[in-house]
Amino acid sequence: MGMAAEAEQQKEELVGIPVGEEDDEHDSKEAVLQKYFLLEWKLVKSLLDDIVSNGCVSDPSVAHKIRSIMDKYQEQGQLLEPYLESIISPLMLIVRSKIIELGVDSNKILEVIKPICIIIYSLVTVCGYKAVVRFFPHQVSDLELAVSLLEKCHYTISVSSLRQESTGEMEAKCVVLLWLSILVLVPFDISTIDTSIASITSFGEHEPVPLVSKIIGFCKDYLSSAGPMRTIAALLLSRLLTRPDMPKASSSFVEWTNEVLSSVTDDVMNHFRVLGAAEALAAIFKAGGRKLLVDVVPIVWNNTSLLMKSSNAARSPLLRKYLMKLTQRIGFTCLPHRSPSWRYVGKTRSLGENMSSSASGNPNQTNYDLDVDNCNTDKSSSCLQDEDLDVPEIVEEIIEMLLTGLKDTDTVVRWSAAKGIGRITSRLTSALSEEVLSSVLELFSPGEGDGSWHGGCLALAELARRGLLLPISLPKVVPVVVKALHYDVRRGPHSVGSHVRDAAAYVCWAFGRAYHHADIRNILDQLAPHLLTVACYDREVNCRRAAAAAFQENVGRQGSYPHGIDIVNAADYFSLSSRLHSYIHVAVFIAQYEGYLYPFAEELMYNKICHWDKGLRELAAEALSALVKYDPEYFANFVVDKLIPCTLSSDLCMRHGATLAVGEVVFSLHQCGYALSSDKEKRVAGVVPAIEKARLYRGKGGEIMRLAVSRFIECVSFYCLPLTEKIKRSLLDTLNENLRHPNSQIQDAAVKALNHFIRAYLIAADIGGTSNITSKYLELLTDANVAVRRGSALAIGVLPYELLATRWKDVLLKLCSSCAIEDNPDDRDAEARVNAVKGLVSVCEILTQDKTNSDITLGENDISLFLLIKNEVMMCLLKALDDYSVDNRGDVGSWVREVAMDGLARCTYILCKRDFVDYTGRSFEGEPMVEFHDRDMIENNQLSPFFDKSLATDIIGGICKQAVEKMDKLRESAAKVLRRILYNKVVFIPHIPYRKTLEKIVPDEDGLKWGVPNFSFPRFVKLLQFTCYSRLVLSGLVISIGGLQESLRKASLSALLEYLQVAEIEHEDERKSREHMLSTEMLWILQQYKRCDRVIIPTLKTIEVLFSKKIFLDMESQTPVFCAGVLDSLAVELKGSKDFSKLYAGIAILRYIASISDSPINARAFSHLLSFLGHKYPKIRKAASEQVYLVLMQNVDLVGEDKVEKALEIISETCWDGDMETVKLQKLELCEMAGLDTEQLRKASGVVSKAKQTKPTDADENASYSSLVGSTGF
C-alpha cells in the first residue's frame, strides 16, 4: 500500500493535480471557475463582501482596484461571465435600496452609487452591455426611481476626463441609462406607471407622458456628447420609442432628428449631435417593426442621402459608418420579410446519418437540403413567387449607396456596407441578386483602388456566408478571388494590398463553411495552391496566417485534400509567424506534395523576385533555390532561362532579384549534382559582363547591384562554372572594385565571393596577375583611401595558403603595422584597424593549418612562424586592447578591442595546439578534446616554447580589464572570450595563473548576464587580490567608478567597497593588506597614464570617493607614502589644466590629504590647495575656498588655534568668484596665517598684475565655450 500511495502521489504531482484533491470532473462549479477563469476571485469576493456588508464602498480605491483586475480580462471577457450574477446583483441591490432609503433628493446618494457604478461599468466595458444588463433589477416600480436618479446624475460634472482619476460621474450616467434600457420594456402602458400625471391638470392628448418626456430630453442631451453615454442613450431610445404605446413620442423624435440632420453646421457640438441622431435612428430602425417605421422612411432616407454627400460625412468615418448602418436598415424596412427559395442552404441532418453515409462508402451522398433543387423541380411556381415581389424604387438607391460604401476609404464603413449588401440581398429575388453580384464584381476592375477590392471581397464573403452566392456563380467569382489573393500594388517606395489579400483569404474561409464539398470540389482544387502560396510567401504575417486559416477551414470541413492534415500541421499559426521560417522551411515542406511546387516557383519568379522590399527579394532568391531539389531539370531549363534576361531589366528591383536568383539556383543545382548544358553555362557566365557593359553599377541602385553581383560570383565559384580567361579577369576586377567601396556590406559580400573565387579559379590555373595578387593587397594596406585599406585587409584574410606561403612574414608584419593607430590624425580609421585585426588572425589560422593537401611549404622552418605569432602578432593584439580612439561617433576604439579579444583567443589556440603536438608527438587532427591526464602533463610542462605563463598572464589580464570597463557590450564579449579560453573543448590552454578562481568567476554556463553591472563587477573585482591581474583590472575598474553613468558607477563602486570591507575577512591585517595593495596599484596607474585624461580623471574621482569612505586614510606608514605619491601626481596633472572635472576632483583630494592630522604632508597639500584660491576660473576659486574652509574646520593646526577664527571669517566673507585683485590679497593673507613664504607669492602676484595691465581689456574667464562645457563634467 505504501508503494502504491507513493506512486499515486508522484503521478498527481506530474500532472499538476494537488494531492488529496479530486479532478475537475467531480469538483464543484466554484472550484473549477476559480481554477480556470477569474484567478483573482478570492480577492474580488472579499472586497465585494465588504461592500455588501457596509452597504457602500467605504474606500474609493477599492473600486479602482477591482476595475484594474477586470481590465486584465479585456481580450477574454467571456472568462468573467460566470461571475457576473455574483457581482452585479448585490451591487445593483445596494443601488436600489439606497435610492429608496435615502431618497433621490439626498446629496449623499451620488456619493454611495458612484464607486459602485465604476465597478459595474468596468464589467460593461469588458463583457459587453448585453451580458451585464441581464442581472439588473427590473421591477415596474423601479422605472420612476431610475428616471429620478438619472435626473440627479444628469447635472453632475466629471472632475477629470482621465479614466484613472474618474470619481464615477460618467460611469453613474452610463449605468443608470443601461438600467433604464431594460426598465422601459415593462409590459404595461407607461402612462399607467407615471404617478406625476395625477398632479398635472393641463396634460395634452397628443403629448407624451411626463416620464417619457424626461427620458427623451435627457437622451437628446446625451446624444450630443462625445462619451459612451451617446451609444447607451441611442439604445435606450430604440427600446423606448419602438414600444406600441409610443407613436407620438416616436414621431416627435423623428421630427427632431430631421431638424438636426438637415441643419448641419461646422461647430463641434453640432457634429456630435449629428452623430448621436444618426446612431439613434440606426438603433431605432434595428429594433422597430416594419409597420411602425415604414411611414417615416421617406423623411429619414432623404436626410440620410443628403448627409452622406455633405462635407461633414466626408470628414467623419464614424458618421459615414452610422449612415451606412441606417441606410441598410431603411432598405430592410422597405422590403418584406421573406425566405428566398433560391438561397443555398446546407443542413446537417444528424451525426448518425453522417456516420452512416461515411460508412456506406458513398462520398458523393450529400448531407444537406438544397433549396435550389426545389426551384429547379418546381421552377414555374418559385419564379412566379419571385415575380410577385414588389421592390420599391428607393431600394435601388439604397443598394447603390451601399455599393458606393464598399469603395469607402475607411475599413469600418466598407465592412458595414458589406453587411448591408448581404442583408438586403437576402430579401431580393434571384434575378436582382444576380444584378447585385454583377455590381460587386465590377469593383474588381483594374481601374479601381485597393478600397474597392477590399470592399468587394468583404461583400462576396457576406454573400457566401448567407447562402446568397450560388455554386453556379462561383466560376466567375473564383478568378476574381484569386487575383485578390495576390493583390499588391506598388506605391512609391512601398506597396498597398495587404488588407485586400487578408479579405480574399476571408472569402475562401467563407467558402469552406458555406458549401458542401460535392459542389465546390473543383473550385477548392483551384484555390488550394493560391492559398498556400499566400500562406508561405506573403510579406505580411496577418495575410500568411489568414490564408493558412482559410486552408485549414477547407481541409476540416470539405475534406478530400491530399496530405491536407500534414500541410495544416506544418503551416500553423506559430510556424508562419517568422517570414524566414515560412519561406525556407514551411514552403519547402509543402512543395514536396504534388500540385504545389510549380505554383510556388512561379509566385517567387513573377511576384517576389521583383518585390520592392530588398530583404524580401534576397529571401525569395534563397527560397527559390531551396525548391530546386524537387525538380532540378525544370529549374535548369525553365527558371534559369526566364531569369537571365531579367538581370538587365530597366527595373532595379527586377534586375537585382533576378541576379540573386540566378546565382542561388545555380548554386543549388551544384548541390544537387545537376550539370547545366554548355549553352546554359555560357549564358550564366555572361551575366556579370553584361551588367558591367550596361553600366548598371552607376546611378540609383548601384550599391544594391554590387551586392547582388558579389553573391552571384560566390555562387558561380561554388559551381566551378567554366569561365574564359577574360571573364575571370573581369570578375576579379569587379570584386576588387567592390572591395574599394566605402559601404561595409559591399566589402563583406566581396570578401566572401573572393574567398571562393580564388580557390575555384586562381589556384588551379594561374591567370595574369595572380602571382602578384598578394603583393597588390599588401601595397593597398597603406593607401590614402581608408575604404581601400579596409577592403584590402579583409581580402588578405581570405587568401588561400598557396598565395600566402611565399610572403607570409611580410604579410604578418604589414598587417601588424596596420593594426596600430596611425601617426597622422587625418589617416586614422577605426574600421581599417578592425579589418586589419580580423585579417591578421585569419592569416595566422590559414598559415598554421595542416598542409597535407598542399605541395607548397613555408620558406623557412615552421618554428619561425610560430615565434613570429608569439612575439609580434600577440603583442600587436595586446596593444590593440589599448585602442581607445574616439571620434564624433563615440568610442570607436571599442570595435578594435572587441575583435582583438577574439583574435587573442584564436591565436592562443594556435600556439597551444603547436605546443601540444610538440609535447605529445601526436597529430591534432581528429582529436575531439584533450584528456584530463594530458591536461595535467601540459600544465606541469614548463618548457612550452610558444605559450608560456607570461603570455597567458598578459592575455587573461588584458581581457579581464575589458570585463570591468564601462561598456556593457564589451564586458559581455570579454566574459565570453574568457569562457572559451578556460573551457575550450579542443585544446587545453595551460599556464593560466589562478585558474581555479577564474573558473569560479566565469563558470561554464549559458545565459549569464555579463552585461549587467550588478552581476559582473562583484565577480571580476575578486581578481584585485592577485598581483598578476590587479593592475590591469584596477585600470579598467577606475574607468567605470569615475565614469558619467550613475548606475554603472554605483555598481562598480559597491563591488570595490565590498571587496575591501568583505565580512569573510577574518583578520584585520588581511583587510589592510588589500588596502595597501590597492593603494600601490593606484599609484602605478597615476604614473603609467601620466597626462592621459581618459584614465587620470576617473582615477582621481575614484580616489576622491575612496577617501570619502575612509579608504587609504588609515594605513599607518603606507598612508603618507600614498598621499605623497598622489600629491606628486596632482602637481603634474593639475598644472595648467582647463578640465573642470579634473580640477574639482584634485581639489577635493587635496582637502582630504590636508585634513590628515599629525602628518608631514598635510601642510604640502594645504599649500597646494591655497594656490587654487587665485585660479583664473571663478568656479575653481569658489570650490577651493569651500574645501579650505572644511580643512580648517577639521585641522586647526595648519594655521594655529589663535588664527582659525579669523581665517574662517576671511574665507566665508570673501567673494571668491568676484574681483581678482581682492581675491589675491585675501589669498596672501591666508598664506601668511599658514606660515607660507608670502614674499615670493607677492612678487609673482605683482608680475601678474603688471602683465595684465598691459592688456587693453580684461579677458572673461567664462567667455570660452570649452570652459562652459567642461564645467558640466563632460
C-beta separation of 334 from 394 below 8 A: yes
Separation between Cα atoms, residue 306 and residue 397, nearest integer Å: 12
Question: How distant, in Å, are the alpha carbons of 94, 124, 145, 415 from that of 52?
Answer: 7, 20, 21, 45
Residues whose CB is less than 8 angstroms from the CB of residue 439 and which lie 6 or more positions away in sequence, other chains included: 399, 403
108 has pLDDT over 60? yes
DSSP 954-970: HHHHHHHHHTTSS-HHH
Separation between Cα atoms, residue 10 and residue 3, nearest integer Å: 11
Averaged pLDDT, 850-859:
55
Separation between Cα atoms, residue 1152 and residue 212, nearest integer Å: 86
Task: Look up cell 456628447; give the residue.
Answer: 225
The region, left, alpha or beta by phi > 0 then psi within -120 to 50, assigned to residue 617 is alpha
Separation between Cα atoms, residue 1106 and residue 1094, nearest integer Å: 19
Q: What is the CB neighbour count within 10 angstroms for residue 159?
A: 11
Residues whose CB is less than 8 angstroms from the CB of residue 345 and which lie 6 or more positions away in sequence, other chains included: 368, 369, 370, 371, 467
Separation between Cα atoms, residue 762 and residue 559, nearest integer Å: 58
Question: How distant, in Å, are the alpha carbons of 954, 1030, 1038, 1215 from that of 957?
Answer: 5, 8, 15, 50
pLDDT of residue 906: 95
- What are 210's three cell numbers? 411626463
pLDDT confidence bin for 320, thresholds 50/70/90: very high
Check residues 88 and 370 and name the one with the higher pLDDT: 88
376 has pLDDT over 60? no
Separation between Cα atoms, residue 1245 and residue 1251, nearest integer Å: 10
Separation between Cα atoms, residue 179 and residue 150, nearest integer Å: 10
The region, left, alpha or beta by phi > 0 then psi within -120 to 50, assigned to residue 921 is left
Q: What is the rounded (10 degree) CA torsion for 59, 62, 63, 65?
A: 150
- What are 753's three cell numbers? 565571393
pLDDT digits (tens, 9 = 90+) for 113-136: 889 999 999 999 999 999 999 999
Residues of the chain with pLDDT > 90, as a percent, come to 54
C-beta separation of 906 from 838 below 8 A: no
447 has pLDDT over 60? yes
Burial level of 270, CB count in 10 A (0-12/13-18/19+)? middle
Average pLDDT, the chain: 84
pTM, rounded to two decimals: 0.81
DSSP 805-868: GGGHHHHHHHHHHHHSPPSSGGG--HHHHHHHHHHHHHHHHHHHS--TT-S---SS-HHHHHHH
Question: How distant, in Å, are the alpha carbons of 257, 306, 325 from that of 299?
Answer: 10, 11, 16
What are the residue boundaries of the structural domains of the chain, listed by start? 1-32, 33-192+208-264+274-289, 470-487+496-595, 629-770, 1061-1253+1262-1271
The SS3 of residue 1103 is helix
Mean pLDDT comparison of 17-31, 40-54, 158-172, 587-601, highest-scoring range = 587-601
Averaged pLDDT, 1126-1142:
90
**Residue 770: CA atoms inside 13 Å, Cβ hemisphere, count?**
20
pLDDT digits (tens, 9 = 90+) for 971-992: 999 999 999 999 998 888 998 9
Numbers of helices and strands, H then E, in the chain: 66, 2
pLDDT of residue 199: 66
C-beta separation of 804 from 851 below 8 A: no
Separation between Cα atoms, residue 255 and residue 261, nearest integer Å: 10
pLDDT of residue 1269: 44
pLDDT digits (tens, 9 = 90+) for 931-976: 444 555 555 555 557 888 999 999 999 999 999 999 999 999 999 9
| DSSP-based helix, strand, coil % in the chain, nearest 5 | 70, 0, 30
Separation between Cα atoms, residue 976 and residue 981, nearest integer Å: 9
CATH no. for 33-192+208-264+274-289: 1.25.10
The SS3 of residue 310 is coil
The SS3 of residue 446 is coil
C-beta separation of 723 from 731 below 8 A: yes
Q: In degrees rounded to 5, what are phi and psi of residue 123?
A: -70, -30
pLDDT digits (tens, 9 = 90+) for 1016-1070: 999 999 999 999 999 999 999 999 999 888 999 999 999 999 998 874 455 666 7
- What are 280's three cell numbers? 439613434
